[in-house]
Amino acid sequence: MAASLLSRATTTLAAAALSTATILTGAAMAQSGNFALELNNASDTSNGCRLTYVATNNTGTALTETSYEVAIFDGEGRVSRLLVLEFGALPLGKTKVVQFDLAEQACSDISRIIVNNIADCKSADGDHDFCITGLVTNSRNDIQFGI
């Protein structure tokens, strides 16, 4: 009986820790002053891998052009591609879903994706660096995603 109670207590603590981590990640993604970029989904298509991103502009500035240079790593940890993902205009507080297709690449052949640099982070006032300095990343699948 004591082992059963201990098992239930451990399960309850693990669930509470997971809930707290999820809440904290959500809070970081919604913080003011950041640019949140999430790799939301990766699914195979007949032509390759379709990556679905969710971008949220919490920077305090309406952006007219937003794009990132990313590096794609294969299953052995080697860079297989460098490419630019264009998210376009993102008004202040706007969340946008964008899909990119990687031709002739299975999703299972991608181990991780890193944001290498910003390609564009522009507003009516000019270029900005907060798209990289305030970048918060997250992945909701097996492909690692970060800076």
The count of domains in the chain is 2
Question: Quick one: average pLDDT of 106-129?
Answer: 94
DSSP reduced 3-state for 88: coil
Instruction: State the pLDDT at residue 33.
Output: 79
Average pLDDT for 87-94: 92
Q: Copy the structure tokens of residue 51.
A: 């990556």
Range of the domain at 10: 1-30
- The amino acid at residue 110 is I
Looking at every residue in the chain, the average pLDDT score rounds to: 84
The per-residue pLDDT for 12 is 41
* Rg value, the chain, Cα: 18
In this structure, the answer to whether residues 15 and 57 fall within a common structural domain is no
113 and 93 fall within a common domain: yes
* pLDDT tens column, 40-82: 999 999 999 999 999 999 999 999 999 999 999 999 999 999 9
- Residue bearing the bigger pLDDT, 7 or 100: 100
Same domain (yes/no): 1, 38: no
Contact in structure between 57 and 92 (CB atoms under 8 Å)? yes
Which range, of 1-15, 62-76, 103-117, 124-138, averages the lowest pLDDT?
1-15
Using the 8-state DSSP alphabet, how is residue 121 labeled?
A: E
Query: Nearest Cα to 110, choosing from 47, 37, 50?
Result: 50
